[in-house]
Amino acid sequence: MPALLTDPTQFQNSLLGHQLAAYLPDGEDITYLDRAIFEASSWVQRYCGRKLAAPPATTVGGTAPTAPGSLSIPVASVANIDQLDVAVFTGTAETIEIAGADVTGQGGAPYPYPGTLTLTTPTATSHSPGDPIQIYRQERYEIRGRKTGAGTDDGLPFSQEGQVAQMHAPKFGFGVSSRLIFLREYPVLSLFAAFETLPWSNAETTVSLQAIYLAKEEGWYRLPVGFYNPQATMWRTQYAAGFCAGPDDHRDAVHHVVAAKLAQSDNPLGATSIRSGDQSFTNPTQAYMDRAIKILEAGNYVRKGMV
């Protein structure tokens, strides 16, 4: 399940990549660089505490239609697809949870990294090569006694609708009710679907998204006034979040982590300095990592906490 915030061509065309071209092993430049970029992108996302890349759109791969009942699907690219994401086959509206995604082959395939999606449930229909697939993030959130939403809830108009909403939203006989649902990834681009499971029920119900307020920058949405959502209710949300086109500082941070890996490959023991003949050179590995961290912190990409 490779994370990918840049690609080999972007790295090689950058000033940093040009300066470090000599560090690439002869005869296996792209394979080596692919792996370094996968690892560096994953490191950056772990450091930031969230997935920076938006869930991608891809297509069915292969050369022949897949059979109904398949538990794996070849796709044109598996980059930035994660376990428990959902794949929406837009031609049939079939939505299936993803169990895993892997690049094809032992050594990996070249950019854009074709591979295979492993699904948690079999497909219901056949899918042909080239059929579009949209990926959405998916997560579950349990209501833990948050307040009802905004302070203006207490200032509802003295109408039948307003009074019923005020009576039902925070009470209705079961603990605290909440109107806020928090999402791990941000910025949120769109909500695809939401499902609610009440604490005394094992049955999910689909929730309409028409009256929901979405705070895209912060990563949460608010239910309409009067929505009954008691403590311990479980929410499952499918949504798109992240950056569709990685900002320059994302790529720059990843490039510096790649540079650290390349420098370390020339110094596998991690010596702080390297001697060549009569000259001694300071190993730049830590300096590259420190620079990557400063770039991410300055861009405010690091999650400071999760409510």
Q: What is the pLDDT of residues 102-125, one digit of tens each?
A: 888 655 567 889 999 999 999 999
Whether residue 107 sits in one domain with residue 94: yes
pLDDT digits (tens, 9 = 90+) for 8-59: 889 989 988 888 877 776 555 457 788 889 999 999 999 999 999 999 999 9
DSSP H/E element including 87: strand 86-89
**CA 51 from centroid of its chain's CA atoms:** 4
Q: What is the number of domains present in the chain?
A: 3
For residue 81, the domain's CATH number is: 2.40.33
- Give SS3 for 276: strand
Please give the residue range of the domain that contains residue 113: 57-138
pLDDT digits (tens, 9 = 90+) for 13-23: 998 888 887 77
* Token pair 């690609």 in the structure block, residue: 7
Instruction: Tell me, yes or no, whether 279 lies in a domain.
Output: yes
CA distance 223 to 229: 9
Q: Quote the pLDDT of residue 144.
A: 77
CA distance 197 to 195: 7
Whether residue 214 sits in one domain with residue 150: yes
Radius of gyration of the chain (CA): 24
Q: What is the pTM of this model?
A: 0.83
CA distance 24 to 274: 18
